[in-house]
Structure 1
């Protein structure tokens, strides 16, 4: 079989804490690898073990073909999240394209009678049933560097000056944007899973209303928590985001909420 047909996400434990009572899976945003969440490690309390996923074509797996089929990738991600060898509860956070994968993996777990996450946290992505991706992404893809900066934030000059480096950085990003463009939402009953909503106050890609529309897809709605910054606020408001997420996780599993 072709390599792309057999490639699967791989679990990456960013900070091994075998005594932790909860695993938190942080799914990377478009074009990124697990290392984008390394700054979270010292901000999380000992009762949370931070994990991520390495996807083909991204990060250390950049030499592999990227996967752009959202149904295939989310199903394989679901198998990583619901690890039958680990009975601890788990939660999943996804930023940008990672939010769609986190949501669809959770829906796949319900269809296959797997364990649901203790919390589904989505960040900086319009709710998938709005069909906004095919309307919003093409204009940015044709807007050149200006459109790219809206998606990923500032681009280092040394990257812009080297065509090969730029191609290496853009290839996984374009693959994930293609994944979003391939996506078609199929209605299902709302998920009976606690939800957390996050975004940037100045996000040009995902406004407050399309972010709040995620509440249509769950049985228990949540208020959107916005932080200073744009679409990539994840990198500038890290401490505030992790602190709020820790509090929410402490609530859903009845744990103390003080951060380390």
Structure 2
């Protein structure tokens, strides 16, 4: 997916640098982060390293949106270079989180039902026990992070613009998305696309067009766009 994004966004001068989470992909040998704060700390350094001193935006899908938000806040709080924009996709605002949904115990049956509802998992995974086990372990770890999330109190609002993108058929509703505007003292925008929770795959071209439209006017973002892994 990211390879396609690189090709599609290159003409707009936007680079794509995926940031992988521990316990997944090339970092599968690493343990899952125990909580939200720890995971944000683990991601902040790699994001700065990937930017390589260039202007950058942070993009996160679903739980990745919360993580990108946390990284942006942490960078601002410690006086590091802040992103020129934060893009949150399929992610309810920090003040609109449904913590009950992610509360344990979470049975395998419940997680499988969620995967099927979100429609972002290849159908073949459900018939392969080992692949399904790995997928459920990742999802359970993600839900643990979401359940433990608490909106930071105190501190300044983000100084960068926030652009929220949501799917019309997703369970996330307009008030959940609009509340992102409370997290910045800069520009806030929303875009609604066709599709469910994984509209970034169902309607990839429309999603990428939206990114270009929101990021390209800020030409200084053109050197690098950093992405938290979709979840």
Aligned to 2:180: 214
In the alignment, the residues of structure 1 paired with residue 119 and residue 220 of structure 2 have an alpha-carbon distance, to the nearest angstrom, of 35
Offset at 1:104?
0.4
Aligned to 2:201: 235
Offset at 1:85?
8.2
Aligned to 2:100: 135
Is 1:150–2:114 an aligned residue pair? no
Offset at 1:114?
0.4
TM-score by structure 1 length?
Answer: 0.76
Q: Over aligned residue pairs, what C-alpha RMSD do you find?
A: 2.4
Between 1 and 2, higher relative CO (CA 8 Å, sep ≥ 6) is seen in 2
Q: Which structure 2 segments of 5+ residues have no match?
A: 223-231
How many residue pairs were aligned?
A: 218
Aligned to 2:229: none
2:169–2:195 Cα contact (<8 Å) kept = yes
Aligned to 2:129: 163
Q: Deviations over 1:53-78 (max 9, x none)?
A: 12211123223211132112212322
In the alignment, the residues of structure 2 paired with residue 198 and residue 140 of structure 1 have an alpha-carbon distance, to the nearest angstrom, of 30
Aligned to 1:185: 151
TM-score by structure 2 length?
Answer: 0.85
Whose helix fraction is larger, Structure 1's or Structure 2's?
2
Aligned to 1:95: 61
Identify if the C-alpha distance between structure 1 residues 150 and 84 changes in structure 2 by more than 3 Å, giving closer, same or farther. Answer: closer
1:62–1:172 Cα contact (<8 Å) kept = no
